[in-house]
């Protein structure tokens, strides 16, 4: 059994390599070379291990070809995925402030870590499978969530489900046609890429962000969902590596956590290595306009046309989302 040996290149930097097996302190070993592909695990009601998506577009764009990291048996090898190369540094502007019962966010969406070079270079491995033609661009996003959210009846996961403390947006785990975006799409070493209006985003919790562990072994806070609940990294209390089966239908659970400097018994989401990676649905109420804003379509309705998913073309395709 191997211990965790992800190699990090430094603070806020990218992953150089994944270990093959991630072992938790307790029960779970997660084989990163044989993660289940989440295609089809899209529900219309809350369901553990699935994502309850508000919408998918079967005609939407995405990777045009399955990469060789698919094992052919319903699993894929995360460690063998093509990575969009580069280490472009940005000037992030990100603030979180508490104002009464609200938590107020302002971000230009540019991350505090390096990114790959976008559009994806034609001479890269990643381009063979996913010709994402979009560039990263600065956004102007301000929004408010409850500082101390309450559980409500679950809601579907829109395209954008939160923001990570890197300053960049977290999308749900699906590409636009509703496939497992982490398995299909190519991303950079921090697992981010831009959609068609330039919004840099992740479909899982970036390993460049999920780097810290608290004294009790539990992962540190890595972001906030649009309902105001916290998103934490891949470890539970005692340092156990969590899997979807440990979590509820929205990919969270309730126990004592540190929240704004206090210890409270509170619901929160977790990242996992396995699908749906993060939020499967929302356990608190949320404002759909916040999700639209984070998704890049907030000011002028939808952000534009998509490209047909098939067949692959020789020319660079038009911009697409997500
Ligand atoms: Zn927890
Ligand atoms: Zn995406």
Please report, for the chain, the start and end positions of each structural domain, with discontinuous segments joined by +.
1-322
Query: How distant, in Å, are the alpha carbons of 14, 155, 208, 234, 281 from that of 247?
Result: 28, 17, 23, 11, 12
- Percentage of the chain with pLDDT > 70? 84
The structure tokens listed for 114 are: 């390096």
The structure tokens listed for 253 are: 């659970």
Query: What ligand is nearest to the CA atom of residue 257?
Result: 1
Q: Is the pLDDT of residue 303 over 80?
A: no
Strands 42-43 and 51-52: parallel
Greater confidence (31 vs 24) lies with 31
244 CA to centre of ligand 1 in angstroms: 12
Residue 307 pLDDT level (bands cut at 50, 70, 90): very low
Q: Are 227 and 291 in contact (CB under 8 A)?
A: no
Neighbours of ion ligand 2 (CB under 5 A): 322
pLDDT score, position 321: 56
220 CA to centre of ligand 1 in angstroms: 9
Phi-psi region of 189 (alpha: psi -120 to 50; beta: other; left: phi over 0): alpha
The structure tokens listed for 209 are: 């962000």
Query: What ligand is nearest to the CA atom of residue 160?
Result: 2
The span from the CA of 94 to the CA of 108, in Å, is 7
For 113-137, the pLDDT digits (tens) are 999 999 999 999 999 999 999 999 9
Q: Is the pLDDT of residue 258 over 90?
A: yes
The span from the CA of 35 to the CA of 180, in Å, is 11
Query: What ligand is nearest to the CA atom of residue 269?
Result: 1
pLDDT score, position 176: 87
- Partners of 53 in beta bridges: 157
264 CA to centre of ligand 2 in angstroms: 34
Please give the angle made by the CA atoms of 46, 49 and 232, to the nearest 5 degrees: 95
Least trusted range by pLDDT, from 81-85, 137-141, 162-166, 314-318 = 314-318
85 CA to centre of ligand 1 in angstroms: 33
90 CA to centre of ligand 1 in angstroms: 31
255 CA to centre of ligand 2 in angstroms: 31
The span from the CA of 4 to the CA of 28, in Å, is 12
The span from the CA of 34 to the CA of 28, in Å, is 14
Considering only CA atoms, which of 87, 255, 270 is closest in space to residue 162? Answer: 270
| Structure letter (DSSP) for residue 32 | T
pLDDT score, position 17: 41
Q: Are 200 and 138 in contact (CB under 8 A)?
A: no
Query: What ligand is nearest to the CA atom of residue 192?
Result: 2
Q: Is the pLDDT of residue 5 over 60?
A: no
pLDDT score, position 25: 46
Cα-flanking dihedrals φ and ψ of residue 80, to 5°?
A: -105, 5
Q: Is the pLDDT of residue 1 over 50?
A: no
265 CA to centre of ligand 1 in angstroms: 10
Least trusted range by pLDDT, from 2-6, 88-92, 187-191 = 2-6
Q: Is the pLDDT of residue 312 over 50?
A: no
Considering only CA atoms, which of 79, 112, 280, 300 is closest in space to residue 196? Answer: 300
Say what the alpha-carbon torsion angle 106, 112, 118, 124 is, to the nearest 10 degrees. Answer: -150
Residue 63 pLDDT level (bands cut at 50, 70, 90): confident
237 CA to centre of ligand 2 in angstroms: 30
């Amino acid at each position: 059994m191997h211990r965790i040996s992800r190699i990090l290149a430094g603070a806020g930097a990218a992953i150089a390599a994944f270990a093959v097996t991630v072992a938790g302190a307790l029960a779970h070993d997660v084989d990163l070379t044989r993660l289940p592909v989440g295609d089809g695990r899209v529900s219309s009601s809350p369901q553990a291990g699935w994502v309850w998506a508000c919408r998918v577009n079967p005609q939407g764009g995405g990777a045009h070809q399955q990469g060789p990291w698919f094992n052919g048996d319903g699993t894929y090898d995360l460690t063998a995925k093509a990575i969009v190369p580069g280490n472009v540094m940005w000037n992030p502007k990100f603030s979180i402030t508490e104002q009464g019962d609200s938590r107020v966010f302002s971000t230009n969406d540019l991350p505090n870590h390096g990114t790959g070079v976008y559009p994806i270079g034609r001479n890269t491995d990643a381009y063979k499978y996913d010709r994402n033609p979009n560039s990263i661009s600065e956004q102007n996003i301000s929004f408010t969530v409850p500082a101390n959210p309450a559980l409500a009846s679950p809601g579907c996961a829109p395209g954008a489900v939160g923001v990570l403390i890197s300053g960049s947006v977290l999308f749900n785990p699906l590409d636009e046609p509703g496939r497992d975006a982490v398995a299909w799409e190519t991303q950079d070493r921090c697992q981010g890429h831009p959609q068609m209006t330039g919004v840099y985003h992740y479909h899982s919790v970036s390993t460049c962000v999920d780097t810290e562990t608290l004294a009790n072994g539990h992962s540190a806070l890595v972001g906030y969902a649009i309902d105001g609940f916290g998103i934490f990294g891949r470890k539970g209390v005692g340092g156990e590596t969590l899997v979807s089966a440990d979590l509820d239908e929205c990919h969270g659970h309730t126990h004592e956590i540190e929240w704004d400097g206090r210890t409270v018994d509170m619901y929160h989401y977790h990242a996992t290595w396995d699908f749906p990676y993060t939020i499967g649905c929302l356990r608190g109420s949320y404002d759909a306009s916040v999700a639209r804003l984070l998704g890049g379509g907030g000011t002028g309705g939808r952000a534009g046309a998509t490209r047909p998913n098939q067949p692959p073309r020789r020319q660079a395709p038009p911009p697409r989302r997500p």
